Structure 1
Amino acid sequence: MAAFNLSPFDPSSFFLTGIPGLEAAHVWISIPFSVFYIISLLGNFMVLFVVSKEQTLHKPMHLLLCMLAITDIGMSTSVVPKALCIFWFNLTSITVGGCLTQMFFLHAISAMQSALLVTMAFDRYIAICNPLRYATILTNSRIAKLGLVGLIRAVLVVLPLPLLLSRQPFCANRIIPNTYCDHIAVAKISCGDTTVNGMYALVVGLVCTGLDLTLIALSYILIIRALFRISSKKIHQKALNTCTAHIFVMLMFYPPFIFSSLTHRYGQGIAPHIHIMLANLYFVAPPMLNPIIYGAKTKELRDKVCKYSYRR
């Protein structure tokens, strides 16, 4: 606590508290965090390694899985190492530049992952509704271009957030009650007028998330409509198996993301430690589970992973 009594007057740093109210349990909380992080790294690097090594996996769907693995690694790595430093060593200080950089990567990677989920929904739509033209419509180069468009969009819409905050004055209270630098949390400790920051963040969140969810919903409506025209239960089961992994990944991404965004703005009645714990789980649980889900539901990938896992 002595560090917090002196640290707020350092003009070059912010201070992350960890999980307010649970400081005594930080070491115990760090155990599942570190385990989830290690499993996440192993799973996602395994996906990248196997797909890069196996020529038969150089297909659009597996290229999308590699992009998803990269965003998962980036998302968890942006949060977990600093959180563990807080939990284990009480290293709460973070430079203003480091805080704004972390903020940029967190929000840009989330925006990029949302764009990837849209591309995956489009991939599933083509695979089910227009399978004969799948190979000509979705080539590897076209998937790479769609990924690049998603990356450019993420950078362009997120970059103004840290740039706007970098122009704000910050007073003596530089304590952020969190394990990472979220845009709203940093904006709240500014002495200046952050109306523009808040409005921009709200509009970007609503427009980008709303647009992506609309496109995903449209893809699945078209898939369901196409399946209703086919009476074969075997084809219905195959289509369901094809989409299950994507649906699970979306359910792990969008609800926690929307919940975290809303509670930052309107969740004054929610206990801070509950909100922050759930927000941190958003950065460690999906990156850990995504490669497991796709490994279980994608036979080609599962077989190749088993091949390398049991190789002697």
Structure 2
Amino acid sequence: MESTRSIDTHYRGRFAPSPTGPLHFGSLVAAVGSYADAKFHGGKWLVRIEDVDLPRRVPGAAKQILDTLEKLGMEWDEEIIYQSRRSEAYREALDVLDKQGLLYPCTCSRKEIADSSITGLYGFIYPGTCLNNPVSLQSAHALRIQTHDDIIQFTDGLKGLYTQKLHSEVGDFVLRRADGIYAYQLAVVVDDAAQNITHVVRGADLIDSTPRQIFLQQLLRYPVPQYMHLPVVTNAAGEKLSKQTNAAPVNTAEALKELVDALHFLGQQPPLEILEGDIASFWDWVMQNWRVNRIPNGVV
């Protein structure tokens, strides 16, 4: 991704928060990075609410997040998509994969997987228990997809070339859980394709998921977006800011300061007087001066 302004009217970026709580500084950094990159390139910026995991959804959180984005001057260009309303699209994608003979039922519990798996760089590597010993479809089961060890690779906008061998480093992964909820990996791929997303700018905590998503994009014959994974905000203990680590909500009463702090975290160099202006002038400056080559390289 270049550091000088280049208009690309085909650019379609997105911000896809999960409504598990209010927007905090970590998610604000991802929002600012994705919005700035889209607007700098003259592209569109979309918002998607990733509420496919209904048990984790906090009532009212989606509206609170959208209200916060509005107060921060971040305007989305098209209708918001809610994953909780898109089960049919996910089912259709599963059918396409099933017809390729790639899906199989799995009844393994978390404990069984932990007890029988090797721990790899990205967590437990599923050993293929239910692929090698087929289970009855009459019992509650997840659906896994068979992977291979062909190298999946992409060039990240900050980290450069990134590669993964799915079968040996991740294992076959779940696309639909035993409770019927579609997995993030499937939903995000289907939705990025549905929204014609060309550029994904998000936190580096998700970079390990990208090869799985590219794998699914290839199987479903979807375009593969360009990816850029931003450095992740951590607390004093080195933990990623999240609801689980009690991250404080973005203070919209100090909206401009919060935005400037996010910009500084992303390595940008706004003038001191930007705090004397308003949110509109802040974004005017960003749209002319955003520089990807100033962002820290994404080490978490």
In the superposition, the TM-score normalised over structure 2's length comes to 0.22
Give the TM-score, by structure 1 length: 0.22
Higher Cα Rg, which structure: 1
Higher relative contact order (CA 8 A, sep 6+): 1
Q: Which structure dedicates a bigger proportion of its chain to strand?
A: 2
